[in-house]
A and B are shown apart, each in its own frame.
Chain A
Amino acid sequence: MTEQGVWTLAWLRFSRDRVGFASLMVVLVYVGIMLAAAIGWLARDWSEERGVSYAPPTFLGPDRSAAAAAIAEQRGPGDDYGIPDPLAADLAEIAKGLTGTGASEARSPTLAFGADKWGRDVLQKTLKGAQVSLFVGLAAALLATLLGTIFGALAGFRGGWVDDIFNWLYSVFTSIPYLLLVLAVAAVVNQKGVATVILILGLTGWTGIFRLVRAEYMKHKVREYVLAADAIGASPARRMFVHILPNVSHVVLVQLSLHVVLFIKSEVILTFLGFGVGVDTVSWGSMLAEAGSELLLGKWWQITAATIAMALLVTAFSLFTDAMRDALDPRLR
C-alpha cells in the first residue's frame, strides 16, 4: 500500500460513520449555496425591497393589524375634532403619488419567510449571509492554518533559536485573550469589509495550530524515515514539507475544520458589534444585529432564520470534524 492507501482507509472509516457522513452532506450543501450565491445563481437580488415592511412569513398570512393601522393613519388625526384637515387634499395627493409610482404597489404583503424593516426577503438574506459567513470562516481558517503550519514546521523542525523566537511569539499572542486581541486589531484597522475580517481572524488565530504542528514536527524529525531522507541528501525544506507534512496533515486538517467553526462564530460577533463586514453586505451577524429591535416588535422571523441557518452549519461542521478526527486517527477511539 502506498500513501494513497491511508486516505482510502480513512475515507472508508469515515463513510461508515453515518452521523459524520450526513454532516458532510449538510456542509457540502452549504458550500454549494456559498458558490451559487457567489456567482449570482442564488439570492442575487437580496437587497431588493420586495415586500412591505416586516411582511410576515407566508404561512402566517398578511399582517392584519399593520393594515388596520395604516388605514387609521390615512384617515388622519383631524377627524377627531370635527374640523376638516386643510392639508387633506395635498396629503392624499402625496400619498397617491407615493403608492402609485413607488414600489409598494408591487410589494407583496407576505414573503416566504417574512421580510425585514425595509421589506427585504429574509430567506434571500439568509442565503446571501451564508455565503459571506461561510466564506469568511473558510478563508480565515485557511490563512490561520497556513501560518500555524509554516511557523510550527519551522519551529519544530529547526529547533534552537528559531524555535525560541516562535515560542516567544506564541506566548505573546496567547497572553492576550483571543477576542480582546481581535477587538484591539479591529480598533486599529478601523476599516470594514470581508477582506479585513479575514485578515484579522487569520492573523490572530494561528496559535493553537502552531503548538500542535510544532509538537508533531518535533516528534517526526527524529524518526527513521526522515533520517533516511536526510542521508540521501534531501534538503531541509524537502524533508519538512514533502516528507513530514503528509504525515502530520491529519492534525492540520482537523484543526482547519475546527477553526472554520470558531471563525464563523467570531465573524458573527464582530459584524454584530459593527467591526465586521460592511453595511453593503449581509452576514448572519448583521441579521442578528437587526433582530434585537425587531424582537421587541414581535417580528421573530429574521432572528429565527439566521439562528437556524447558523446552528445547522456549525453543528454539522462540528460533527463532521469529530468524525474526520476519528477516521484519520483510529487509535483515538
Chain B
Amino acid sequence: MAAYTLRRLWQFVPTLAGVVLLVFFLFNWVGGDPAYLLAGKISNPAQIENIRRQLGVDQSYAVQLGIFVKQVVSADFGASWATNERVADIFATRLGPSLTVLVPLLVISTLLGLAAAMLVAYLRGSITDRAVMIACTVGQSISILVYILVFQYLLAYHLGWFPVQGWGTTFSENLLRYSALAIVVGVAVSLAPDIRLYRTFFLDEINQDYVRTARAKGMSEGRVMWVHVLRNAAIPIVTNVLLQLPGLLAGAFLIERFFGIPGIGREVILAVERSDFPVIKAVTVYVAIATMIVNLAADLLYRAIDPRVQLK
C-alpha cells in the first residue's frame, strides 16, 4: 500500500510538469503579449515596455518558463491583473463560499440519486423504471442554463421563497438563506445523470448470486436491498462522487455566477472575462493538482472498501 502510494505520488511529477507546460504554452505562447491587454486602449510604447519588463515577458521563453515554474513551486502566483489582489488571498477567501454550496449539494444529490436509483433498479423493466429513465433522458437534455433561469425566476423572483441572489456575513445565513436555491438547482441538474449512472451500478449487483442466496435464506427484501446490494453498489458510487469534486469546484461557475456566490467558479468566469491570466493559471494548476490527489484518494478508498481490488 505504502509502496503503491509512493509510486503514484512519483507519477504526479511528469503529469504536473505536463500541466505546467500546457498552461505555459497556452498563456505565454498562444496568448500573445499581455502588455497590450494590460495597458488598455490608450497607451504609449514606454508604458508597454515597462509592463513587459515587470511581467518578465521581454525575456526569452526559457526564462519565462523558469519564472512560471518558480511560481508553481512556491505557490505564489503574484497578484491579479484586474484587482491587484494576491492570487493566494483570492483562493483563501473564495474557497469557503464554494464549499458552502458544494458539500451540501453533493451530499443531497448523492443520497437522493442513490435512493431513486435503487428504487428504479429494483423495479427494473416496469413502467416506473421506463418512465423515470425517459424523464432522466429529457431532463439531461435541457441545458443547465434553463434550470437556473427558470428556477431563479419562479422560486425566487415570482414566488419569493428564496432571495434572488446575494451573500451574507455569517455561515448559517449563507448556508440556509443564500445557498439554498443554488443547492436546489444543483440537485435538480445532477439528479438525472446520477440516477442513470447509479442505476447501472445497482443493476450490476442485483443479479449476483449473493442476492439470490440472501433471498433464498428468507431475508427480507428491505434488508437485501439496503444492506447487501447497497454496500456493494456503494463502492463505485463513492469513487464517482469523489471524482466529481474537483470538477465541481471550478464547474459550478454558472450557479455561483447567477446566485451571486463569491466562490472559485465565479472567480474563474470573472478572470476569463477580464483576461486575468495569473488567476486562471493558478486555478488551472491548483485544480489539476487537486484532481490528481483526489484520483489517488479514490483508488485508495476503493481498495479500503473492497479488499479484492488489487492495486498495481
Q: Which residues of A contact B (CB under 8 A)?
A: 168-169, 171-181, 183-190, 261, 265, 268-269, 272-275, 284-285, 288, 291-292, 295-296, 303, 307, 310-315, 318-319
Contact of B269 with A by CB under 8 A: yes
Q: A180-B268, A186-B272, A288-B145 are in contact. Are A319 and B153 (CB under 8 A)?
A: no
Q: In the complex the two chains form, is A307's CB within 8 Å of B284's CB?
A: no
CA distance A186 to B30 in the complex (A): 11
Partner among B251, B283, B291 whose Cβ is within 8 Å of the Cβ of A175:
B291
Q: In the complex the two chains form, is B288's CB within 8 Å of A176's CB?
A: yes
Q: Which residues of B contact A (CB under 8 A)?
A: 14-15, 18-19, 21-23, 26-27, 30-31, 137-138, 140-146, 149-150, 153, 157, 246-247, 250-251, 253-254, 268-269, 271-273, 275, 277, 280, 283-284, 287-288, 291-292, 295
> Whole-angstrom distance from the CB of B234 to the nearest CB of chain A?
24
Q: In the complex the two chains form, is A185's CB within 8 Å of B26's CB?
A: yes
Q: In the complex the two chains form, is A187's CB within 8 Å of B140's CB?
A: no
CA distance A142 to B285 in the complex (A): 29
Q: In the complex the two chains form, is B275's CB within 8 Å of A168's CB?
A: no
Residues of B within 8 A of A175 (CB): 15, 19, 288, 291-292, 295
CA distance A171 to B246 in the complex (A): 15
Q: In the complex the two chains form, is A176's CB within 8 Å of B284's CB?
A: yes
Q: List 14 A-B contacts (CB under 8 A).
A: A169-B18, A175-B15, A175-B295, A177-B246, A183-B268, A183-B269, A186-B272, A187-B280, A188-B26, A188-B27, A269-B144, A269-B254, A288-B143, A315-B137
Q: In the complex the two chains form, is B143's CB within 8 Å of A178's CB?
A: no
Residues of B within 8 A of A184 (CB): 23, 26, 272, 280, 284
Q: In the complex the two chains form, is B292's CB within 8 Å of A272's CB?
A: no
Do most interface residues of chain B lie in helix, strand or loop, or is the interface mixed?
helix
> Whole-angstrom distance from the CB of B299 to the nearest CB of chain A?
14
Residues of B within 8 A of A172 (CB): 15, 18-19, 21-22
- What are the 7 tightest A-B residue pairs by CB atom distance, in nearest-first order? A172-B18, A314-B141, A177-B247, A187-B272, A188-B31, A180-B250, A315-B141
When C-beta atoms are compared, the residue in chain A nearest to B292 turns out to be A175
Q: A172-B19, A265-B143 are in contact. Are A179 and B26 (CB under 8 A)?
A: no
> Whole-angstrom distance from the CB of B194 to the nearest CB of chain A?
16
Q: A169-B18, A176-B287, A177-B246 are in contact. Are A272 and B272 (CB under 8 A)?
A: no
Given contacts A175-B292, A187-B275, 16 further A-B contacts (CB under 8 A): A171-B15, A174-B291, A175-B288, A177-B250, A179-B253, A180-B250, A181-B284, A187-B271, A187-B277, A188-B31, A288-B143, A288-B146, A292-B149, A313-B141, A318-B137, A319-B137
Most buried by B among A172, A173, A265, A315: A172
